[in-house]
Amino acid sequence: MAGDGLKWDGLLKWSLSHADGTGSARNLSEEDRKWFMEAMQAQTVDVVKRMKEITLVMKTPEDVLEAQGIKPADIVEMLDELQEHVESIDMANDLHSIGGLIPLLGYLKNSDAGIRAKAADVITTIVQNNPRSQQLVMEASGLEPLLSNFTSDLDLTVRTKALGAISSLIRNNKAGIAAFRLANGYAGLRDALGSENVRFQRKALNLIQYLLRENNSDCSVVTELGFPPLMMHLTSSDDSDVREAALGGLLELARERTSGSSNVLAEEGKLKEVLQERIEGLSSMSAEDLGAAREERQLVDSIWNTCYNEPSSLREKGLVVLPGEEAPQLPPDVAGKMFEPPLRAWAAKPQSGGSSSADDDKKKATPLLLGPAHVNGSSNHEPRNPN
């Protein structure tokens, strides 16, 4: 953090030296205690201060920023810093109280594609595993611009980032799912499956699988909209994650018998042909590749067994469960893992003790964008790897 010049690496070492259990316990002197508390308080104040400064910039009209020499790349860098701050659930929820959520949502309509994409990326972080922020974004009508960008933006990166934000916003959010369905979100997902972009396909497939698990009745909607042929086509993708996600969606359809989806799949000769092709592909894999394709093997066998009431030939060949593997108790959760951001998922679970590796992370400051001069320099932030 910029500002007070505190040596946070020194603070960390000092803290560890008094908490690693290797030294004898001793009471802190009043001077040490005062220094420690002031240091921690200064850090907290700095984060809030920076978020308020970033909010001020987000509220500033584009023409004023341009007159100050601020470029879109500078705004993207600023949003990257904001994203680091809102990885904390408390800071994510505080963004609205300091007036930053509304202008952030406004950036979804910015004229620059890079800003629109990054704004969706920040929103993804804010709402992941965070019911309070999900509610705040919904109340601020944040789903509407995300849906617009997802379905109609000319920039594919913007569309993909918007889909990622929607996925996180409506996950475990009944109101969000209902709004997505009413806004004809499934039509957008169908279009995404027809894209040539693997990442876009993968995000769409994972959201489809999640939605079908949450609402079995949607299987009939998906079937009527023509999803099964698209999913079957994607089972032959060169990308293993796309194949697994497509198979996972087909399995959900196959299991839902009340909607008629299972009968439609079973009666369609194309499905059996697709599964046989996957069985042949799996059978020809090396031992190493077979091990990596565990979920795909189990999904193919599960679909075959569900649709045709008999085990697939993979089971006869001993390829469903390889030596040393445990027999599957539940179908593999292909979609669920795509919605679990490491930091937020960790924070949402009870911890059993021990120190986190997050203590060793070092955050470096980004210069203020408003001022007499802008300091150009390379970003100190590590690149992110969204779902």
Q: pLDDT for 150-207, tens place per residue? A: 999 999 999 999 999 999 999 999 999 999 999 999 999 999 999 999 999 999 999 9
Is CATH 1.25.10.10 the right assignment for the domain spanning 33-183? yes
Mean predicted confidence (pLDDT) in 87-102: 95
Domain ranges of the chain: 33-183, 212-347
CA 47, 122, 146: angle at the middle one, nearest 5? Answer: 145
What share of the chain in percent tops pLDDT 90?
Answer: 61
Q: What string of DSSP letters covers 277-321? A: HHHHHHHTS-HHHHHHTHHHHHHHHHHHHHHHSS--HHHHTT-SS
pLDDT attached to residue 362 = 41
Q: Which residues contact 268 (CB under 8 A, 6 or more apart)?
A: 228
Least confidently predicted of 22-26, 95-99, 207-211, 356-360: 356-360
- Categorize the per-residue pLDDT at 363 as very low, low, confident or very high, splitting at 50, 70 and 90: very low
> Taking a C-beta distance cutoff of 8 angstroms, is the pair 75, 115 a contact?
yes
pLDDT attached to residue 329 = 57
Q: How many Cα atoms sit within 13 Å of 136 on the Cβ side?
A: 21
- Categorize the per-residue pLDDT at 336 as very low, low, confident or very high, splitting at 50, 70 and 90: low
- The first and second tokens of residue 339, run together, are 């919605």
> Taking a C-beta distance cutoff of 8 angstroms, is the pair 289, 319 a contact?
no
- Categorize the per-residue pLDDT at 365 as very low, low, confident or very high, splitting at 50, 70 and 90: very low
- Categorize the per-residue pLDDT at 324 as very low, low, confident or very high, splitting at 50, 70 and 90: confident
Mean predicted confidence (pLDDT) in 126-150: 97
Provide φ and ψ at 51, rounded to 5°: -65, -35
Number of H helices, E strands in the chain: 22, 0
Coil, strand or helix at 337: helix
CB atoms closer than 10 angstroms to residue 45: 13
Taking only the tens place, the pLDDT of each residue in 15-51 is: 555 555 555 555 667 877 777 777 666 655 578 889 9
pLDDT attached to residue 383 = 41
